[in-house]
Amino acid sequence: MKESQTRLIILGAGKPFSGEQHSVLRGTTGRRRVLDWVLHSMRAVEPDVHFVGGYQLDEIAERYPELHYSVNPHWQSTGAAASLLEAPLNDRVVHYVSYSDVLFRDSAVQSLSSSEADIAVLVDSNWRHRFEGRSEEDLQRCEKVNVHGGRITRLGRDILPELADAEFVGLVRLQPKVAGFLAGQSDFPEAIRKGSLTQLLELLRVRGFSVAAVDVAGGWAELNEPNDLSRFILGTKAQTLHRLQGVVTRSRIEDQVSFTVAEWQDLDTEVLARIGARLSETEKLVVRSSALSEDGFGVSNAGAYTSVLNVSRQSEGELRAAIEKVIASYPDGHPDNQVLVQPMLEQVIASGVAFTKTLSSGAPYYVVNYDDTTNSTESITSGASRDHKTLFVHRDAPEKLVRVPENLAGLMPALREVEDLLDFDSLDMEFAITEGGLIHILQVRPIAVQHELTQSDAAESLLTNAVDRFRQWQAPAPFVVGKRAYFGVMPDWNPAEIIGTRPGRLASSLYRYLIMDDVWAAQRAEYGYRDVRPQPLLRMFAGHPYVDIRASFNSFIPQSLDDGLAGRLVDFYMEWLRRHPHLHDKVEFDVVPTCYALDFERWRERLIHEGGFNADEADRLGVGLKTITACAIARTDADLQVIDRFEERLACFRNTDASSLDDALSLLEECRRYGTLAFAHLARSAFVAITLLRSAVEKGVLSQGAMDAFLNSIRTVSHRFTDDAAKVARQELSMAAFTQQYGHLRPGTYDITSPCYGDNPEHFLVPVIERSASELHADSGSHIALDAWENERQTFAQAVSDAGLPGDIEQLERFMRNAIEGREYAKFVFTRHLSLALNCLAGYGERHGVTREQMACISVEALSALRSGTVAVADEASWLADQATEGYEASRAAAMVELPPLLLSESDFYAFLYTDSHANFVGAGKISAECVDLQKRATDERSNLSGKIAMIPQADPGYDWLFGHGIAGLITMYGGANSHMAIRAAEFGLPAAIGVGEGKYEALARATVLELDPVNKRIEVIR
């Protein structure tokens, strides 16, 4: 084997300046870091590598068995000079000497190699400002040099900072004669052996060897700060890819030609020649931006500048035009902005963007947004993908529980490798995958978002406890049948729609208390379904609310069916959902039959042909559901009377103390006992009514126009709201009376921090009044449209009668109208009690120095225990503050946990895939308009919504005020086909997409203009 002409001596014997772990071993992943980059930078000179060690040498040798080793036996009492003298020096080869904790670029090595001096020393003239906030102590401690005319006139730590010209970087090139001289000396003074490398070099200078300085002007790094390595490697897009290209092994980075704007303007012909020579083996090129103002730690400017794909290498005109187009997209005209040219990838099977933390909170997840339906490398980054997917993988997930799509199998190792090489876990990487599973890295940059939250033990504990709960709750309850338990955020009383996916303790406990602990099951039992009490419906996993789907499906089994058949039905429904998880927000339409309608035959056929049930069993289910549906038609008037009496009882609370805990909890008890149960009955009846109408359309009994006409004729609270607003505009109703009637409504029904309409009438109520006299109040078209219903209503009634249900059209129409209107009315009434209770709690908190935000972190159970005296409290204010702090910390931990809409197995807690959700579309008109994400706007910034598509996270009726702002369309993250906002959008004829899902919502929220086409079930990003 030919002996190398170059030798690299790495000096790493001493203990690190800070910490206990040696710099070359730093990190927790077990991958190499600093030495990888040192060896990468030295690759052009192909050196033999010798490591002089002492501290933790055995561990280093185990990690790097391919290196040669020497030992400094006196490393604890000597310095770097002694370590160099222990190295195998000779006069036959050039020696490079490097500290083990410094990083430099290959260009620095090239500059050193071109020096003719005996000793070439890498220095930094920008040393005082190399990193922000450098301390005076550090300036005194570092090794410095004096330079004159390119020659070093003095080296050492003892040079005063104010007299120093540069800092010694830690890399030296020694000519063979210098190395031979050192090898032949055995009488160096003890002071030199205990000294630094610069002291030894100073001695050599005094002995007559020429010493030249090679200046890197800040282009190096010493591993003092946590992000030193990543800041050294990450630069412009072109620089980062170039620095990573020769180091990554789990992915591929294509060859490139990069150049500055100034180079192009002065030497365009030479640049084109370089492209032709370097990229001669490819026919198609991509010309990409690589500006100074993108891909930085503070700002990314992602997508701000132009890239041109599929550029012909052989067409000079086409290539020139592409380069000019990219340069023209730079707004600042800086001559050092770069352009990057690479081969165009072919046979792409997937592409996208991967984050190594969540953008919203910095939670420890790999988040991969990708498209595997096109062969484009930029369908995700351009926003053009219509079928994108988002994969979440917890970075500390047990390997056996991580399930990644097969076509992404190599992506996780590739991402981890880049993280490890950079010693940085907050990255944004663009990638493509070609046939054969080869991962191509197209861009690496730091995530520019500065996150307030950090990974915590509390979040990890939450996740572990959540998995334990999932495992424990697989065992069925006494009155619940079925082999397995699944959990979801959207089925049944979908908590994601009502309280969100990470509610505060007060909101989630209120929802449990008022509905999800007992009322939901009592309603089902009274309605004719299976009685599953005392089973709760809501389960909390790591601060995220989920519906117990098994309990829900049990509660939709007619009470006339025996346990055996009920259990088999539940298992079949659960398995159907597992096989079709995209139906999680449509379970009552596509997974579980919960009432009898005109299309029951489709359920019957599924049970027999897919579920193995016999005809008699399917018919028994049909009979049970038919009985429930007939009872629903008969009972609705009585449920409305309960609500009327409930509203009358509110008078007893007119003199409620606005800061009384007793009054707040009494209001909640009143609400639970008389309000939410009747509301639940009416909500179930409204679902039956909608299901009858939809089944009639599905069977061709009704036209879609007739159904829409009937729904448009319904006058819910929303219409009375706009009618009363018009009366205020005409001075037929006072503003005070209007506010008293509707002021209790709030966007977040259960959220104490959400202001009610009465708190800010200028924002919530005045715009409705201003618009109500014009287009919102005009309803002349509705009478004409109702003709379609009038023409078909008798046919509908006959079909209902033929199905064995009450078929009198007057009774049917009264039932459907009263159920749909009654549900909204009941919600309107019971939320008055709830809103007043929230105000009482807010006042109670304020009286004790506790804000609304703090009260949101305290559960109803804790407040009830305080009221009853179950907890002994000496100082209520201090106790409330402690409870709020505990709840706040729990919410911070929950924010660091990501969970999917469905929990089907333990692996779903660690890795899950969001596909494009199948939204519930409402309306007939196609619109193109500017979109506004109300999550990102403060209350006082939401005034100008007219003509825009409003985007909201939940389909909560507390957002009714939106209809008063003249919005052109509505998109919600969560919400089902039968949700409040779906019904209200239909009433107003407003184009809407209800429940697009978290992944789709986030993608749409990044756009400025959308086209919403409900008829074709399509949302298109226009800009």
Residue 48 parent element (H or E): strand 48-53
Cis amide prior to 534 (ω within 30 degrees)? yes
Is the backbone of residue 36 left (phi > 0), alpha (psi -120 to 50) or beta?
alpha
CA 875 to chain centre: 40
Tell me the angle at which helices 519-527 and 615-649 cross, rounded to the nearest 10 degrees: 120
Residue 843 parent element (H or E): helix 809-847
List, as one string, the DSSP characters of 500-538: -SS--HHHHHHHIIIIITTHHHHHHHHHTB---TT--SE
At 95, give phi and psi (nearest 5°). Answer: -115, 130
Is 74 considered catalytic here? no
Residue 657 parent element (H or E): none
- Catalytic one among 388, 394, 719, 980? 980
Inter-CA distances, 353 with 404, 410, 845, Å: 16, 15, 45
SS3 at position 7: strand
Pairing of strands 220-222, 102-104: antiparallel
Specify burial of residue 946 (Cβ count, 10 A radius: 0-12, 13-18, 19+).
exposed
What secondary structure, in 3-state letters, does 58-127 show?
HHHHHHCCCCEEEECCCCCCCCHHHHHHCCCCCCCCEEEEEECCEEECHHHHHHHHCCCCCEEEEEECCH
Residues 640/679, Cβ–Cβ less than 8 Å: no
d(CA 849, CA 857): 14
Both tokens of 400, joined, read: 């056996």
Q: Which of 1019, 1018, 973, 1013 is nearest to 995 (CA)?
A: 973
d(CA 643, CA 544): 31
Residues 953/935, Cβ–Cβ less than 8 Å: yes
SS3 at position 12: strand
Specify burial of residue 69 (Cβ count, 10 A radius: 0-12, 13-18, 19+).
middle
Both tokens of 274, joined, read: 């370089």
Which residue blocks in 405-494 are alpha helix, DSSP H? 411-422, 457-472
Which active-site residues does the annotation give?
A: 980
